[in-house]
Structures are given as C-alpha cells and as structure tokens.
Structure 1
Amino acid sequence: MSTNGWLFPRGSLAEGPWESVVGVGLPGWQHTGLRIADLDGDLTLPPASLERMIVPLAGSFTVSASDDRWDLPGRRSVFDGPTDVLYLAAMTGFRIEGSGRVAVAEAPTNVRLPSTLLSRDDVPVEIRGAGRSTRQVHNFGVPGALAASKLIVCEVITPAENWSSYPAHKHDRAGANESELEEIYYFEAAVARGVDAPADARPFGMFTTYASDERAIDTAARVGTGDVALVPYGFHGPAVAAPGYDLYYLNVMAGPADERAWRITDDPAQGWIRQHWNDQQPDPRLPYLSKEIGR
C-alpha cells in the first residue's frame, strides 16, 4: 500500500445501495466488515457466516428477522449522545426499514450467540482522558457490555480542538499484554456546538497511522463525514478535531483469536502523557447529551 493507501474517501467503497462496504473482498483484509447507507425505505441482507451490529447514525429504524422485530428509536445525529444498537447472531438475514443514516458492523464467525437489543439508556458512556485529550466513548459493543463472538464496536465523540486515539497505540501482535485486531474507523465531522459557522464551512479532522514493525503503513489524512480508514496493523492515532469542528468515529474491531479482548500497547514515545491526565480536569463541554427521536 502507498501513503494513505488504507484511507478511503466517502463513496470510494460504494456497492449497490450502500455508500461504503468494507469486507474480506478488500486485499489484505480478513476479520472485520462495515456497511454505511443513507436509507429512506428498506434494505435487506441475507444470512451469512457473520455476526452483525446495527448502529443508527441518524434517524430511526425497525429491523425484522424471521419472526423477530426490533425498534431502534435512534438519534438526530452522531453528536447527540448514544443510540440503541442491535446485535444480530451469525446466519441471521434481516430487513431494515426507516429513514436516516445507518451503519452495520460485521465480523466473520460461525458461533451463534443470541441476538440482543441494547437500549440507549443502557449504553456505557465513558469520559476518557483529560484536558485537550478528553473524548466521549460509547462502549455499546465491547466485552462486558454485550456478548459477541469476535465483534468489538464502540464510538467516540471528540469536541473541537481535542485529540483522541491518543496516545497512539497498537494491537497487532497477540500476547499477554496485547490483542491482535484489525480496526475500522468510520468518520463524521460537524460544526462544533455553539459555533456560528458560514454555510460553506467544511468540517474535518486529522488522522494518522504509522508502522510499529517491519510492515509498512503510513496514513496521514484529512478526514470528514463518510471517510473510512482501515488499520490492519501499526500504531494508530491521534484523531484530532480541528478548531470549530467536532469529530466522530465508529470503531469496528475483530481478530483471529478465539478470545474476544481489546488489549493495547502505547507508542513508547507517547504513552507517558497518560500520567499527566491526573493533573488535569476533563473537558467541561462533555458529555454531549442525547436528543431523542420518536420518544
């Protein structure tokens, strides 16, 4: 891969009704998948050896599979707090109906666990870091919050001028202190809360990935709504929200191990910064409170 070869601008992974599709069809990609769509009507996906998680980005949806039916009231945007999410067991085909923008996270597996709806009110919300490293994490699809075979999913809101995915870290070698996981970053950006911006404002942030060993990787990119960055290996971070613009990303992770775990190793040149968070206060702009739809 060339410089930024793992960064895919909005629409460059389009497939049928899906704005973006990440899966094993991409060279060098094995363990995770993601689908993004703007929906006004319905879409279907057939049964497959995949466990899936449906994440409303904006809008409300209803999902049906065989005799089961789930309502996801959703939210107005990704910057309006956590959302209801639905985990679907492997070999479950489904239909999704509604209006808005939706993500479907995927991981190959033949293990069938019960499909589960997690209400927005039950989503663990974490304020991580301090000072200009403060971010808001919705841990709806991580070990301990939701049972799954391989899939690990969360989302992060980074207010304007703050840094997240920082210090840069990796999870590309299996061991006692680290998991081997692929990772997908799906981004959105918006004018920061309370900021009066002109109509032609173009919200953005920055994202980097770089080599942790002999495997070359070098992503240094401006990112905005709809862009996708893949991290097959290497140190990744920071993700930085530009002044005047809030940054969001959805993370999808999975790997080859039977154990479903997220263990990381910091870049030694940056990991020391964590100790200084003890002397700083979290950013008072967070948490971003939810704005409800249909409730």
Structure 2
Amino acid sequence: MTSSDWVVPAGEGAEDGFDLAVVAGEREGWSHTSLWTVTLAAGESRTVAAPGQELLVVPLSGGTEATVDGETYTLTGRSDVFAGPTDVVYAPLDAAVTLTSADGGRFAVCGATTDVVLPARHLPAAEVPVELRGAGQSSRQVRNFGTVGVLDAGSIIACEVITPGGNWSSYPAHKHDEESEHESALEEIYYFEVQDGPQGQPGLGFHRTSSTPAGEIDVLHEVRDRDTVLVPHGWHGPCTAAPGHDMYYLNVMAGPGAERAWLISDHPDQTWVRSTWEHQEIDPRLTEGD
C-alpha cells in the first residue's frame, strides 16, 4: 500500500452523513480501530452502530445527549478542542450510540473491536487526568480520558494531545507494532485539528511514520485542520505544530493482544532527547488545569 492509503484529508472520509468514517475491517490492513466524526445541527440526531466494537463519545465542540441501551447521558462538552478537557461516554460492546444535540456541535465517536462486555459509563471532565509531558519545545498536554487505569474498557485506548505552535510531540518517535514483554501491538488513529491564525489564516503541521521490521511504511504528511492519519505499524512521530498554530490530535488505539496496555519502544536515534528535559522548563503556555 502507498503512503496515501494511510492519510485521510479533511472532507475525503465523509460517509452516510458523517464527516469522517474510518471503520475497523473496511480497509486492507486495518482491523481493530474506528473513528467517526459528525456535525449536528441544532436538534439533529445521529446513530453510530458498530457490531463487535465498544464505543467512546468525545465532544469536539458543543454538548450532546448520548443514548446507550435506553439510558441517556448528558455531555456538557466544550466550545472547541483547545478550551480544555471534555466529559466522555463509554458504550459497551455491540451497543449503538445515538447523539442528539440541542444547540448543535461536532462530535467524535471512537471504536475498537473487543469481546469484553462492560457497563456504560459517563466520565465527567473534572475527572479527566491532565498530564504535562516533555519540556521546552517538546512540551505538550495530554488528556487521558480513555487510557488504562482511567477508563475500564475491553481494548480501546484513547487520549487527546495539545501541542503549542512551534512545539514537537509524539517525540521521540516510538512504535507499538509487536507483542513482547516491552511492547504492545496497537493500531493508532491520529485525528488533527489545527488552530487558525489571528485573521483566520489556516494552520498546518506535520506527521511522520516510518518503517520497522513489522512492515514498510513511509508517511510524511502536511496535516491541516481535520485531517486524519492512520498508523497500522511503524515508528510514528514526531508531530510538529507550525509556529503560531496550536495543534490538537485525538488518538485512538487498539490491537489483537489479550492485555489492554500501552507499551512502546522509543526510536533508538531519538530517545536521548528525554535526558535533556530535566534541564528545561515546561512550556508556560501549558497548564495542568487547561
């Protein structure tokens, strides 16, 4: 497959009323993770049904009511992805989710294949752990609403990352494409939003994925607002945000392993950079409370 098979530019993944539909099992070499994004007008509803998958609702802008197995959860949401963490709703295996937004908004529904059945859950924004990772120009903020130890799930692992303009994230480049004592085999979705300039100038950044023994892959993509990059395997990172344009990405991961774990290996040429962080300050544009 070519590098373009793993890049879904904004607008090119639209399907059945969704702005983006990446579905596990519906493309060659992609088996475990899904992502739908949808824009709802005021009062509009949309249902995501994905047999064999568990789902996680993540408001991108605006609030919604999410109905799962006859029970409705109210998600306050947020004004946009740069405004801070959001509350989320987990829907168990084979449970369809219906989103209804009184005032309209945009929403993501993450999915992952599993055979584990767990109850539905609403996680308030106030309970989402916020982590500041890296330092200096490698500073970024990670919101861990769907990670191991925060959200009980069968296989899905999800979080979102804010990278201030001019900074690097997913750095050092890392991989998780084989099962071992030190690594998990996980597909990964990167869904990007990039902040405009002060007069609405479109922002940009870059994403890199390169080959490992698990397979050949060569992606170097200029990411724009609402682009999506799929990582079936390979070293992935860095992601860089152009100066003046903060970058957001939503990560969705899952794989075939029996254990739900995020175990990674750093790229050997880049792992040394971690040792420099102890001598640098965290970027002051980031706080744990954002």
What one-letter code is carried by the residue in structure 2 that aligns with 1:115? A
How far apart are the structure 1 equivalents of 2:68 and 2:3? Answer: 42
How far apart are the structure 2 equivalents of 1:217 and 1:81? Answer: 34
What aligned pairs does 1:96-107 form with structure 2 within 5 A after superposition?
A: 96-98=99-101, 99-107=104-112
Q: What does residue 178 of structure 1 align with?
A: 183
Structure 1 stretches of 4+ with a deviation exceeding 6 A read none
Equivalent position to 1:85, from 88, 92, 117: 88
What aligned pairs does 1:220-259 form with structure 2 within 5 A after superposition?
A: 220-259=220-259
How far apart are the structure 1 equivalents of 2:85 and 2:9? Answer: 25
Q: What does residue 65 of structure 1 align with?
A: 68
Q: What does residue 129 of structure 1 align with?
A: 134
Deviation at 1:93, TM superposition (A): 1.8
Equivalent position to 1:56, from 59, 68, 73: 59
What aligned pairs does 1:180-195 form with structure 2 within 5 A after superposition?
A: 180-191=185-196
TM-score by length of 2: 0.95
Deviation at 1:183, TM superposition (A): 0.3
Q: Quick check: 1:54–1:104 contact (8 Å CA) kept in 2? A: yes
Q: Quick check: 1:79–1:288 contact (8 Å CA) kept in 2? A: no
Gaps of 5+ in 2: none
Deviation at 1:254, TM superposition (A): 0.3
1:289/1:190 CA distance change after superposition, 3 Å = farther
Gaps of 5+ in 1: 291-295
Equivalent position to 1:149, from 145, 148, 154: 154
Deviation at 1:47, TM superposition (A): 6.1
Q: What does residue 39 of structure 2 align with?
A: 38
Aligned length: 285
Q: Quick check: 1:33–1:107 contact (8 Å CA) kept in 2? A: yes
Q: Tell me the C-alpha RMSD between the 2 structures.
A: 1.3
Identical amino acids, percent of aligned pairs: 45
What one-letter code is carried by the residue in structure 2 that aligns with 1:118? L
Deviation at 1:218, TM superposition (A): 0.6
Q: What SS does the aligned partner of 1:216 have?
A: strand
How far apart are the structure 1 equivalents of 2:62 and 2:199? Answer: 25
What one-letter code is carried by the residue in structure 1 that aligns with 2:20? S
Q: Quick check: 2:62–2:78 contact (8 Å CA) kept in 1? A: yes
How far apart are the structure 2 equivalents of 1:46 and 1:207? Answer: 30
How far apart are the structure 2 equivalents of 1:165 and 1:212? Answer: 16
How far apart are the structure 1 equivalents of 2:152 and 2:126? Answer: 18
Post-superposition CA distance 1:189-245 (Å, at most 9, x none)? 0036xxxx234x111111110001262101101112211100000000011000110
TM-score by length of 1: 0.94
Q: Quick check: 2:178–2:214 contact (8 Å CA) kept in 1? A: no
What one-letter code is carried by the residue in structure 2 that aligns with 1:246? D
